[in-house]
Amino acid sequence: MSGNFLALAQPGVQQLSPYVPGKPVDELARELDLDPASIVKLASNENPLGASPKALAAIREALDELTRYPDGNGFALKSLLAEQCRVELNQVTLGNGSNDILELVARAYLAPGLNAVFSEHAFAVYPIATQAVGAQAKVVPAKEWGHDLPAMLAAIDANTRVVFIANPNNPTGTWFGAEALDEFLQDVPAHVLVVLDEAYIEYAEGSDLPDGLDFLAAYPNLLVSRTFSKAYGLAALRVGYGLSTPVVADVLNRVRQPFNVNSLALAAACAALKDEEYLAQSRQLNESGMQQLEAGFRELGLSWIPSRGNFICVDLGQVAAPVFQGLLREGVIVRPVANYGMPNHLRVTIGLPAENSRFLEALRKVLARG
Ligand SMILES: *Cc1c(COP(=O)(O)O)cnc(C)c1O
């Protein structure tokens, strides 16, 4: 007799569903016998530009040192980040993607009997990180698809150690302003670490979104997490970072894997940070692509949730699931978000102008078929 190793998993893990990623291009190509090059994937909020040429050059150079362990302290990248983010070196924590930062927070601060507060329709990694360490997830109903910060505040209790908030949020694209954030931070009890997930903040420059870094000095219980996966175009390499007080950074540093960020990722991230032209191009492409999709939706009589990310959720009502399938048959992969409590929406990542057109054309065709 062997043990029931599902029932033996800790209860929080038994209740989890695995993270569902966007459908890979090669998988759809195999299933429908399509040429992978003909498939448009707008499903994982990836940067359609391709990686920065400067990052690629840095990776080629770093290849010569693959036999060595990476710099476990990530000195070069941390130095650049500290300078750019106006913090000290000892306030920076590097992660294997910013997912890693979220998990380090959970591992360091959550445990059975404790809880984390986050919003309905929030990023799927928050429940995974929380329940993986046996803590309770307190999910607060959303308001107009976005975070209801006062309700989240009210949900905090003596056993709360972490609040996850994302600005803008994925998958909804919703956001909150500086005043709302400041009021929230003022009222969060001192025993609660606020994780402000800014995975898409680079796209929001010059908008009404606050810069989380502006709040670090005033609020020692704030951690801002950011990533190289989106606007910096390095999703495959897995590199992100957290900015916090030195104390919180020290705690996270105790629980991380010694070499959690590989040397190619470190080299590429340094180069990408310095490539301002690439970032500006990413932003500009995103802005025009967002307008292109909104115009297309308007023409089709569809409504959408306004977004400050590199993606947008379009409302297809009852037919969201069949439209998703229909789009697949047209060689276009978008993201169903029923598992985020949004069965009527599909999330579409902003692509290159031609990819956006392909998607809109396919959508028109699928909807016309009824
Ligand atoms: C994409 C994303 C992340 C980060 O992903 P990494 O690739 O692990 O850096 C974090 N939070 C949100 C809300 C995201 O959408």
Q: In whole angstroms, what is the distance from residue 95 CA to residue 288 CA? A: 31
98 Cα–ligand 1 center, Å: 6
> Mutate which of 175, 230, 311 to test ligand 1's pocket (most atoms within 8 Å of Cβ)?
230
22 Cα–ligand 1 center, Å: 13
Task: Give the architecture (CATH level 2) of 21-50+277-369.
Answer: Alpha-Beta Complex (3.90)
Question: To which residue do tokens 């693959």 refer?
Answer: 66
**Smallest CA separation from ligand 1 atom 4, residue:** 98
Closest Cα partner for 122 from 141, 107, 103?
141
66 Cα–ligand 1 center, Å: 26
Q: What DSSP assignment string belongs to 270-315?
A: HHHHH-HHHHHHHHHHHHHHHHHHHHHHHHTT-EEE--SSSEEEEE
* Domain limits, the chain: 21-50+277-369, 53-274
Side-by-side strand order, sheet with 335-336:
303-305, 311-315, 345-349, 335-336
User: Cβ-count burial of 179 within 10 angstroms (0-12 exposed, 13-18 middle, 19+ buried)?
Assistant: exposed
> Mutate which of 45, 118, 201, 229 to test ligand 1's pocket (most atoms within 8 Å of Cβ)?
229
pLDDT in tens, the chain (370 residues): 688 999 999 999 999 988 888 899 999 999 999 999 999 999 999 999 999 999 999 999 999 999 999 999 999 999 999 999 999 999 999 999 999 999 999 999 999 999 999 999 999 999 999 999 999 999 999 999 999 999 999 999 999 999 999 999 999 999 999 999 999 999 999 999 999 999 999 999 888 899 999 999 999 999 999 999 999 999 999 999 999 999 999 999 999 999 999 999 999 999 999 999 999 999 999 999 999 999 999 999 999 999 999 999 999 999 999 999 999 999 999 999 999 999 999 999 999 999 999 999 999 999 998 7
99 Cα–ligand 1 center, Å: 6
Q: What DSSP assignment string belongs to 138-196?
A: EEEPPBTTB--HHHHHHH--TTEEEEEEESS-TTT-----HHHHHHHHHHS-TT-EEEE
Atom of ligand 1 nearest to the CA of 98: 9
**Smallest CA separation from ligand 1 atom 14, residue:** 199
Question: Do the domains spanning 21-50+277-369 and 53-274 agree at the CATH topology level?
Answer: no
Contact of 76 with 266, CB cutoff 8 Å: yes
170 Cα–ligand 1 center, Å: 8
Backbone dihedral angles phi then psi of residue 115, each to the nearest 5 degrees: -140, 160
pTM: 0.97
Of 3.40.190.10, 3.40.50.1980, 3.40.50.800, 3.40.640.10, the CATH number of 53-274 is: 3.40.640.10
